[in-house]
Structure 1
């Protein structure tokens, strides 16, 4: 099969790899139709995620058709059109039984916190991802779901991570009716978080970013107010001004450790195999939210050595809530919103790129060229 293969920082190519085999009775092999490049994939692309090994295939957002199933799989059969959450989870451990699928205890021997993630280094279990023609899907009876007949392929693809994560970020904010919600970052997850905030009763949504084309999408897709932080001497002061000098009720960090990286991050990432991170957006969130407010964090962070203003958060009485999104837990609500016309996830897709040109897709997305917001990788025909 053809698959995207990592060869080192900024070096990816499409190569021939063996089609994955059934390794466990509850495995499925899925023939990928669509995949996507996620903002968090750029941490891998830039060589800033621990234990990203040469030869790995990235991609944790994908949909496809079941090709083969293991002998114990009961819920899927060859030919089923399926969407696969980015979390790999067993469905039965202490954490899965409580809906914490992203913290599954049985799928990642290399970490005590996060569970397994497709195509996201050996730190997250070492599973190959879906930027390929075929992918192995473990625990096939609990992870994938059959795509409803009424749902389009691209809408289903967005549900596998970006939309679910944005919705989860708004959920973690514990938004009350009429709340002022500030969203830091107007990438796909931030756009979905801003859109979702309205569904949860927000009275005002403000999106902060520095790229004008993304802010324009925040205005048209998420119907949010926008602030370009490069236009102000201090974005925190501006946030205070625009909220009557109280601050936002809820702040959502949809940025995480900056994917571009600074010198320290590149040294610690590429040389010491530890991803640093500059938590600028998180500190802005801490400073911009009102006393007693809530901060939701679902931007991607690794081990960070930079100072987070934890003392300020403590003294302001803030509630900080965070996790990797338990994707499948969000699907019933998201399906309802999509079917009823409140959400059209594919509206943020800007680029559709054949698998053989995925290296160019990574370059466009990483360098923020051609007003790229969300690139979709076309791996195979329907």
Structure 2
């Protein structure tokens, strides 16, 4: 089969690789009908997240048709079923899965020894996302083996198109979880840093959950326009002070709820001297991530507020104002997404027309064009916000 394969920093190729096979009774094989490039894939593209090896197959936003099932799937899936595959692999049986904490499933990371050395405890296995999370082949391919398939799937109603369903795999529940973590009240202002695909889903989620006003912060006009179309007040941080504008919009008090949908690759900007220091430290391996957004959020969030972090962080950060966070009484909520916790509710909302996630798609193309689309997505060329690939 054909698949997008990691060969090193900024080197993704469309290669011929072996077809996946059933390896365990709880496995299934799907024929991929749609997959996508995620912003967190760029962290691997840039080699900011450790644990990739040449030959690893990329991708964790995938859906398709079941073509083979293992004997242990026990009728929960059958050939011909249309399914979305969550990026988190879940056993459905461990203590964390029973609590609904699916992204920290205790069983599915087959390299838990590595994860425990880095994180202290294992995470769940993730598709196409380094050997720290199991080294599982990803779904930017013609076929995908789905481990623990009886638990790791979302069935797609016949009435729903691929474009409407695909983002149930990651960015829709990730944006939704980010907003849910904010405990939004009708009087709240929710400020969201980063208007990429996850930020766009967080904007619409915050509005659906009843926020009084939602503010979107970015520097790309196409993203800010999309955010404004979704009901947010845009702030271009290259053209105005985020701090001053937030004060104006909140009577000087700051937003009650703040969402960091940027993570480790905060923009390096002349108006943010700390971002230059972060970049320099990152280049000499004195710091993993560029946490400018996290610092800014801590300073502007209203005392007693909530900071929600769906943006990916990979390791160590520096100069975080913990004194300000502690004295302001801020609550932090973060983590990879517990996709299965929200799947049924989000399927219902899509069916009822409350949200159509396909709005975020700007480019649809063949799998073979994936390596070039990684570069276009990375460089934000051609107003690219979200890429869908069709194997």
- Name which of 295, 298, 311 aligns with 2:323: 311
1:41, distance to aligned residue in structure 2 (A): 0.2
Q: Does 1:230 align with 2:231?
A: no
Q: Determine helix, strand or coil for the equivalent of 2:317.
A: coil
Q: How does 1:1-382 map to 2 (within 5 A)?
A: 1-74=1-74, 75-108=76-109, 109=112, 110-111=114-115, 112-220=121-229, 222-232=230-240, 234-258=241-265, 262-268=279-285, 276-379=288-391
Shift of the alpha carbon at 1:259? 7.0
* SS of residue matched to 2:382: coil
Check 1:253–1:83 CA distance in 2 against 1; reply closer, same or farther (3 A cut).
Answer: same
Distance 1:290 1:231 in 2: 23
- 1:244-296 CA-to-partner distances (Å, cap 9, x unmatched) read 1100010011110117783433443xxx9xx8111111111111211111111
Measure the CA separation in 1 of the matches of 2:197 and 2:166.
Answer: 13
Gaps in structure 2 of 5+ consecutive residues: 116-120, 269-278
Give distance in 1, aligned partners of 2:266 and 2:128. 17
How far did residue 337 of structure 1 move? Answer: 1.4
5+ unaligned residues in a row in structure 1: which ranges? none
For the structure 1 residues 259 and 313, does the alpha-carbon distance in structure 2 shift closer, same or farther, using more than 3 Å as the test? closer
User: 3-state DSSP class of the match of 2:172?
Assistant: helix
8 A Cα contact 1:3 1:132, kept in partner: yes
Secondary structure at 1:140 match in 2: coil
Q: Is contact 1:350–1:372 with CA below 8 Å preserved after alignment?
A: yes
Q: CA deviation at 1:178?
A: 2.2
CA distance in 2, matches of 1:375, 1:369: 12
The runs of 4+ residues in structure 1 deviating greater than 2 Å are 259-268
**Residues 95-147 of structure 1, C-alpha deviations (whole Å, 9 max, x = no match):** 00100000001112131242111000101110000000011100011111221
Name the Cα RMSD after superposition. Answer: 1.4
Q: Describe the SS at the equivalent of 1:292.
A: coil
Contact 2:101 2:338 in 1 (8 A): yes
Distance verdict in 2 for CA 1:227–1:242, change over 3 Å: same
Contact 2:288 2:315 (C-alpha < 8 Å) held by counterparts: yes
Are the counterparts in 1 of residues 184 and 209 from structure 2 also a CA contact under 8 Å? yes
Distance 1:106 1:291, change over 3 A: same
Q: Distance in 1 between matches of 2:152 and 2:32?
A: 16
Partner Cα distance (1:226, 1:187) in 2:
13
Taking structure 1 as the reference length, the TM-score comes to 0.95
CA distance in 1, matches of 2:319, 2:2: 43
Residue 307 of structure 1 deviates from its aligned partner by 2.0
- What's the TM-score, normalizing by structure 2? 0.93
What CA distance in whole angstroms lies between the structure 2 residues aligned with 1:309 and 1:163? 30
Q: Tell me if the contact between 1:73 and 1:140 (Cα under 8 Å) persists in the aligned partners.
A: yes
